């Protein structure tokens, strides 16, 4: 990708297309093309060798017209303000499409956590939290995990914020361990949501689980949970891949056995599993996986996986985007011409932020739900959201991605019009 590529410009261009299609009020459109707040912070920490290193961190709030803002915190060497702004805007649309009372936010620190000790990551997390504490809070902006952050990082964020205000504030972040106010069902929420919308989409196309085959790219949090739920519903998962390679079995992989294998494998990889043909070259494995003659393809690894180069080889009838941004706009066009139904990321992977919302509600009320209640509420909300998007697509005669964006932007636009401009 060229160094001139701007994820933020791409997000604005997507908004422009939706705005044109729905004839959006130009004043509201202009407001949506800007982030409400963007804070850049320096994060100096003492490294284990005694030296001081200064990291750069960001917290961006795109739009708070539907409620407090919500979005993950990413630790990665490639984090930029441009990327964080774009991801904050996408969070606004994701929260709106499933009807959560939130706007979008995102945060990040430019760092390589793989080369840092746990102590260094803790000190960096605490100093970053302290620096952004002027704009976060349970009624303002609620961070959550994203790439390379996890329940432990959320625990440190919650503790740092709580120490600053002088009392425990579990609702300041979500994705926490259950022992300190996390929610049951959060770990599986995104994969469960992916499976729920996938089942709804396949029913519309007349596919039956027992006769349908699935390929899943990525076997991390999202991909492995999605595969587990689909296998449980009778789908035959015939291919999966991870950063090391791919595993194929035309008769269907034994997903519970594969999950147990990955769990006890020190690298948490697919490699070494006996129940299928393993391809160790990850480029070759991905090329084969994406072109498999399956009914359903679920990209659940990274952005930019289905591109103009490989979209023509896709044979699946449905693509469900578990990852954020796995399909490029050029690939989208090719797939659309080929009649492939794409369930877009802002709908398909919204299960995670939905259970984050449930966690926040439980924290605010100090009233915790059991896992069954969480899952029932998640399933209901994902099915309703799929139906809402499907109805817009039928009414507007457009694909599901455009429909999801129209639905999201119109909900934010309504809030914006009702609230007006201050002062």
| Residue ranges in contact with ligand NAD by CB under 6 A | 190, 217-223, 241-243, 282, 286, 300-302, 322-324, 349, 352
Compute the least distance from the CB of residue 301 to ligand NAD, in Å: 3
Q: Evaluate whether 269 touches 282 at the Cβ level (below 8 Å).
A: no
Query: What is the closest distance, in whole angstroms, from the C-beta atom of residue 66 to ligand NAD in the complex?
Result: 19
Contact by Cβ (8 Å): 296, 229: no
Q: CA 385, CA 340: separation in Å to the nearest integer?
A: 20
Sign of CA dihedral 217, 199, 378, 335: positive
Do residues 50 and 86 touch, judged by C-beta distance below 8 A? no
Token pair recorded at residue 405: 């964006």
Tokens of 343: 């369930």
* Smallest separation (angstroms) from ligand NAD to the CB of 72: 8
Query: Measured at CB, which residue is nearest to ligand NAD?
Result: 220
Residue whose CB is less far from ligand NAD, 68 or 218? 218
Give the Cα-Cα-Cα angle 155, 159, 161 (nearest 5 degrees).
120
User: Rounded to the nearest 5 degrees, what angle is found at the Cα of 128, between the Cα atoms of 124 and 133?
Assistant: 150
Catalytic residues: 106
Q: How far is the CB of 61 from ligand NAD (least distance, A)?
A: 19
Nearest to ligand NAD of 207, 253 (CB atom): 253
Q: How far, in Å, CA of 410 to CA of 229, rounded?
A: 32
Q: Of the two residues 302 and 398, which places its CB atom closer to ligand NAD in the complex? A: 302
Nearer CB in complex with ligand NAD: 29/357: 357
CB of 81 vs ligand NAD, minimal distance in Å: 18
Residue with smaller CB distance to ligand NAD, 14 or 324: 324
- Would you say 308 and 334 are in contact if contact means Cβ atoms under 8 Å apart? yes
339: alpha, beta or left, given left = phi > 0 and alpha = psi -120 to 50?
Answer: left
């Amino acid at each position: 990708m060229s160094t001139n590529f701007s994820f933020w410009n791409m997000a604005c261009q997507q908004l422009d297309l939706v705005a044109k299609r729905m004839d959006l009020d130009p004043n509201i459109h202009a407001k949506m093309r800007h982030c409400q707040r963007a804070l850049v912070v320096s994060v100096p920490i003492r490294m284990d060798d005694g030296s001081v290193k200064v990291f750069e961190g960001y917290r961006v709030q795109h739009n708070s017209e539907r409620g407090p803002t919500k979005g993950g915190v990413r630790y990665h060497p490639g984090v930029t303000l441009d990327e964080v702004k774009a991801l904050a805007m996408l969070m606004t649309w994701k929260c709106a499409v499933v009807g959560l009372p939130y706007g979008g936010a995102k945060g990040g620190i430019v760092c390589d956590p793989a080369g840092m000790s746990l102590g260094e990551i803790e000190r960096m997390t605490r100093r970053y939290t302290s620096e952004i504490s002027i704009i976060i809070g349970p009624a303002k902006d609620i961070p959550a995990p994203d790439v390379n952050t996890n329940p432990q990082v959320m625990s440190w964020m919650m503790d740092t914020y709580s120490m600053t205000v002088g009392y425990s504030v579990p609702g300041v972040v979500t994705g926490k361990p259950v022992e300190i106010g996390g929610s049951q069902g959060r770990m599986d929420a995104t994969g469960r949501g992916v499976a729920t919308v996938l089942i709804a989409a396949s029913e519309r196309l007349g596919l039956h689980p027992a006769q349908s085959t699935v390929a899943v790219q990525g076997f991390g949090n999202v991909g492995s949970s999605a595969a587990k739920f689909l296998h449980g519903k009778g789908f035959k998962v015939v291919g999966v891949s991870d950063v090391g390679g791919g595993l194929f079995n035309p008769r269907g992989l034994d997903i519970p056995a594969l999950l147990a294998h990955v769990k006890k494998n020190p690298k948490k990889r697919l490699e070494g599993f006996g129940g299928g043909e393993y391809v160790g070259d990850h480029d070759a494995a991905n090329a084969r996986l994406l072109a498999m003659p399956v009914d359903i393809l679920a990209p659940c690894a990274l952005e930019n996986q289905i591109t103009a180069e490989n979209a023509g080889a896709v044979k699946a009838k449905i693509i469900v985007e578990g990852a954020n941004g796995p399909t490029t706009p050029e690939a989208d066009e090719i797939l659309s011409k080929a009649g492939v139904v794409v369930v877009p990321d802002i709908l398909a992977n919204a299960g995670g932020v939905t259970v984050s919302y449930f966690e926040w509600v439980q924290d605010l009320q100090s009233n915790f739900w059991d896992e069954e209640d969480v899952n029932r509420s998640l399933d209901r909300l994902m099915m309703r959201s799929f139906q809402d998007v499907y109805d817009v697509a039928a009414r507007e005669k457009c694909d599901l991605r455009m429909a999801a964006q129209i639905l999201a932007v119109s909900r934010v636009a309504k809030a914006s019009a009702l609230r007006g401009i201050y002062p």
